[in-house]
Amino acid sequence: MGVMPVGKLLLSMSVPMMISMLVQALYNIVDSMFVAQLNENALTAVSLAFPVQNLMIAVGTGTGVGVNALVSRSLGEKNTEHANKAANNGVYLSLFSFLAFALLTGIFGKIFFQVQTEDAQIISYGADYVRIVGIMSFGIFFQFIFERLLQSTGKTLYTMVTQSLGAIINIILDPIMIFGLFGFPRMEVAGAALATVVGQIVAASLAFWFNVRKNKELHISITKYRLSGIVVKQIYSVGIPSIIMASIGSVMTFGMNKILMAFTSTATAVFGVYFKLQSFIFMPVFGLNNGLVPIAAYNYGARKPNRIMKSIKLSIIYAETIMFVGVLIFQFFSADLLGIFNASDSMLEIGVPALRIISLSFLLAGFGIVCSSVFQALGHGMLSLIVSVLRQLIVLLPAAFILSRTGVLSAIWWAFPIAEIFSGLVSFIFLRHVYKKEIYTMM
């Protein structure tokens, strides 16, 4: 990671991740597409469950980001022993995360939906869904950590294989378990949840095998490496801001769902569909940044500022290109996209302007995502947190609430471009600060 041409290195590490995340986004869309065939309440229930799923993803990816950055930085400094400590502590932390979510979703799953709606069918669908994904969440947490360990040593091709396999299994099992095909019982929304966790468990198992057999730079051994408070602190110095940053998305989604439910449950279904669709645009950018983080972290440890800057500039160019394509798709094919989810006339009436307005924020969002990854790679995760809080809590939710007071549902969607304008400006200011403090001083 310290000698290959940066452009070639970034693509070699990012493209496999981008492909695997595109497959991930595809299965997210397929998942909701099949659920939507049941009825709109089923789609609404899965949409309301998103904050819980997002919280699990936040904890898993945040821990993984911290481990990834620490392992890459340690390897850049030629400190293999510390890299192994970081890797094994990441495994312990994933186990603890699973136990916490299994307990919380088992106890509070139904209550979570009761505070959002009084519709008995939505509550029943949603409670079944979150209990299954929570109680069997060991798959998602171990998948995240083992894939991040592969990424931290540049083996992103294996990560593409594991993520793609898990997603393909999910896509295959979705209709079988939801509708009861080939002798399986008809499980409806619970079937969608079960298909998801089975795919995650298979992906986690394969990622573990790849680490044991192919990842020679790291050694997974819970008997040799014990849980270390110092290492955990180092992991979460980057990981906790990332976790909080992603968790804020759960708070934002919960708040938006409450605002939208005051108008109609169809608006909530539209918001859920938007998140599924936008993942198809955002996931490749996240895949790009999963390649950027270890490159920037490694070269930061190796004190190679020119390679850091080249990787940042190329990442911004690639991210903006992807986002521009996303804007065009959402502007010109919004009705077709909603049609994938068996959209009713009322859903189309609400959804078409929603997709067109929100997509105006994509270009600024792409820049912000790259900046966030740079902050994390160079040990400034708190800056990412500040930007995320500004975007989703300080600006977006209050703006959405104020706009909702107009009584015009379509006005609410303008909160997204407004929030990205503010956060984009702050991201630029922070990037200049990090450049002067961490990169310019090495030149």
Q: Determine the Cα–Cα distance for residues 358 and 381; give it in Å rounded to an integer.
A: 27
Contact 316, 370 (CB under 8 A): yes
Q: Which residue in the block uniquely carries the two structure tokens 């976790």?
A: 243
Which residues have C-beta within 8 Å of that of residue 342, sequence separation ≥ 6?
33, 36, 37
Of residues 281, 373, 330, the one with CA closest to residue 18 = 281
Amino acid present at 108: F
- The answer for 226, left when phi > 0, alpha when psi is -120 to 50, beta otherwise, is beta
Six-digit token string for 109: 């799953």
Contact 13, 159 (CB under 8 A): no
pLDDT at residue 3 in the model: 64
Contact 263, 114 (CB under 8 A): no
pLDDT at residue 359 in the model: 95
CA 140 and chain centroid, separation = 12
Q: Determine the Cα–Cα distance for residues 287 and 21; give it in Å rounded to an integer.
A: 6
Q: Determine the Cα–Cα distance for residues 372 and 241; give it in Å rounded to an integer.
A: 10
* 229-261 and 397-404 helices, crossing angle to 10°: 10
CA 423, 398, 117: angle at the middle one, nearest 5? 120
Q: Determine the Cα–Cα distance for residues 64 and 61; give it in Å rounded to an integer.
A: 5
pLDDT at residue 436 in the model: 83
pLDDT at residue 230 in the model: 83
End-to-end Cα spacing for the chain:
19
Half-sphere exposure of residue 353: CA atoms within 13 angstroms, side-chain side: 11
Q: Determine the Cα–Cα distance for residues 172 and 166; give it in Å rounded to an integer.
A: 10
Which residues have C-beta within 8 Å of that of residue 270, sequence separation ≥ 6?
260, 338, 347, 350, 351, 354
Q: How many CB atoms lie within 10 A of CB 256?
A: 24
Q: pTM for the whole thing?
A: 0.77
Q: Which residue in the block uniquely carries the two structure tokens 């966790």?
A: 197
Which portions of the chain are predicted below pLDDT 70?
A: 1-3, 24, 443
- Indicate the helix (H) or strand (E) that contains 298: helix 265-301
Six-digit token string for 280: 């198809």
Q: What is the pLDDT of residues 269-290, one digit of tens each?
A: 899 899 889 888 988 888 888 7
The CA-atom distances, in angstroms, between 49 and each of 27, 268, 281, 413 are 16, 11, 21, 21
Q: What is the pLDDT of residues 27-63, one digit of tens each?
A: 777 778 899 889 889 988 988 888 898 899 889 988 9
DSSP 8-state symbol, 392? I
Q: Determine the Cα–Cα distance for residues 37 and 35; give it in Å rounded to an integer.
A: 5
State whether residue 180 is helix, strand or coil. Answer: coil
pLDDT at residue 1 in the model: 59
Q: Which residue in the block uniquely carries the two structure tokens 């792409």?
A: 366
Of residues 289, 332, 333, the one with CA closest to residue 312 = 289
Six-digit token string for 384: 């990412």
Of residues 136, 144, 128, 143, the one with CA closest to residue 192 = 128
